[in-house]
């Protein structure tokens, strides 16, 4: 059991290390494609990669299990990333990255609301979430040095709430004892099903010539193979072992600590900067 927990911690650390830089890749791709186009290409690549790695069929799923997979795909693949990608088109990548750290707080609230006994939550954790929220406020509402966009930042908060729902659904899926890769692939499938009608609502006209630009295909490969195929498997595995709340703490720390790192690696022209107000907020969140 202890070895499994160690593997769970390693898996989530790898996941947040990669996810901590995805905002910049998405921000770069938004210069060429719409949020829905990025979403569709990213998870289509991820689905194909998982099928190549583990080409077995998922059999024997009950209606309840399929329904949970469907809602997980709708929340974790379609709605979360749609809100995040649209938010990035309105506000700074640093804002989005930090506001996403509200997800653990929402996970606590939802787990309490639905009385999930297997999610152990102490008073110290709740106090830590409140203090972390103070860091988020410092980072996001210092009008002298941080750009605030109501639509973009609200969408980022909504994305955090949706991710909390996805995490709890993932924890439930982990209890079924089904192969993590197969489950992740099924969730991707349902996510792509929900993304399909969005292509008719939003302007979906993928320019194939742009796909061959180095800054485009490298970022798509990173998002599709690394941040989607690999990271969703490792995240789902970690949630299965550690629980949604404990795993979510890593996400909060990642979101709070990586804006400065994202600022260092970001290319010019994506409209994101870092400043002392962010540093103060990060210290509180840590």
Tens of pLDDT, residue by residue over 216-254, are: 999 999 999 999 999 999 999 998 888 877 787 666 555
Quote the CA–CA distance of 223 and 25 in Å, as a whole number: 7
Give the pLDDT band (50/70/90) at residue 146.
low
Give the pLDDT band (50/70/90) at residue 165.
very high
H helix runs in 59-213, sequence order: 63-72, 80-90, 93-99, 103-113, 123-140, 150-174, 180-201
Question: How far, in Å, are 64, 84, 95 from residue 169 at the CA level?
Answer: 12, 19, 26
pLDDT at 191 over 90: yes
Radius of gyration of the chain (CA): 18
Top mean pLDDT of 44-48, 115-119, 194-198 is at 44-48
Quote the CA–CA distance of 145 and 202 in Å, as a whole number: 33
For CA atoms 54, 55, 60, 61, give the dihedral sign.
positive
The DSSP element (H or E) to which 231 belongs, if any, is helix 231-242
| pLDDT score of 159 | 94
Helix, strand or coil for residue 172? helix
For the chain, give the percent of residues with pLDDT over 90. 35
Buried (b) or exposed (e) across 171-186, using 16+ Cβ within 10 A?
Answer: bbbbeeebebbbbbbb
Quote the CA–CA distance of 83 and 154 in Å, as a whole number: 9
Q: pLDDT averaged over the chain? A: 80
Q: What are phi and psi of 20, to 5 degrees?
A: -65, -15
Q: State the residue for tokens 């077995």.
A: 56
Nearest to 66 by CA among 160, 176, 226: 176
Which DSSP category does 100 fall into? G
Give the pLDDT band (50/70/90) at residue 264.
very low
| pLDDT score of 72 | 96
Tokens of 258: 């990586």
Tokens of 26: 């998405």
Question: How far, in Å, are 26, 66, 75, 196, 273 from residue 159 at the CA level?
Answer: 15, 23, 9, 19, 22
Contact predicate 103/164, CB 8 Å: yes
| pLDDT score of 257 | 46
pLDDT at 285 over 60: no
Contact predicate 185/58, CB 8 Å: yes
């Amino acid at each position: 059991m202890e070895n499994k927990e160690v593997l769970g911690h390693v898996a989530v650390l790898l996941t947040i290390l990669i996810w901590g830089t995805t905002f910049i890749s998405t921000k770069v791709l938004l210069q060429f494609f719409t949020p829905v186009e990025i979403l569709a290409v990213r998870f289509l690549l991820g689905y194909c990669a998982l099928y190549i790695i583990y080409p077995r069929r998922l059999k024997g799923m009950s209606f309840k299990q399929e329904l949970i997979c469907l809602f997980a795909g709708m929340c974790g693949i379609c709605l979360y990333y749609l809100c995040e990608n649209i938010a990035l088109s309105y506000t700074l990548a640093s804002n989005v990255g930090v506001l996403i750290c509200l997800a653990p707080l929402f996970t606590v609230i939802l787990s309490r609301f639905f009385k999930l006994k297997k999610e152990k939550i102490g008073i110290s954790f709740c106090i830590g979430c409140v203090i972390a929220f103070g860091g988020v406020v410092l980072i996001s509402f210092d009008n002298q040095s941080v750009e605030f966009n109501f639509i973009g930042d609200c969408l980022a908060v909504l994305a955090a709430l949706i991710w909390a729902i996805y995490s709890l659904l993932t924890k439930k899926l982990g209890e079924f004892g089904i192969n993590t890769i197969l489950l992740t692939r099924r969730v991707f499938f349902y996510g792509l099903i929900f993304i399909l009608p969005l292509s008719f609502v939003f302007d979906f006209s993928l320019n194939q010539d742009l796909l061959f630009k180095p800054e485009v295909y490298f970022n798509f490969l990173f998002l599709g193979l690394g941040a989607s195929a690999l990271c969703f498997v490792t995240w789902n595995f970690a949630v299965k072992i550690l629980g949604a709340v404990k795993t979510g703490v890593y996400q909060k720390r990642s979101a709070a600590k990586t804006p400065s790192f994202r600022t260092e690696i970001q290319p010019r022209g994506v409209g994101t900067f870092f400043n002392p107000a962010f540093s103060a907020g990060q210290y509180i969140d840590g």
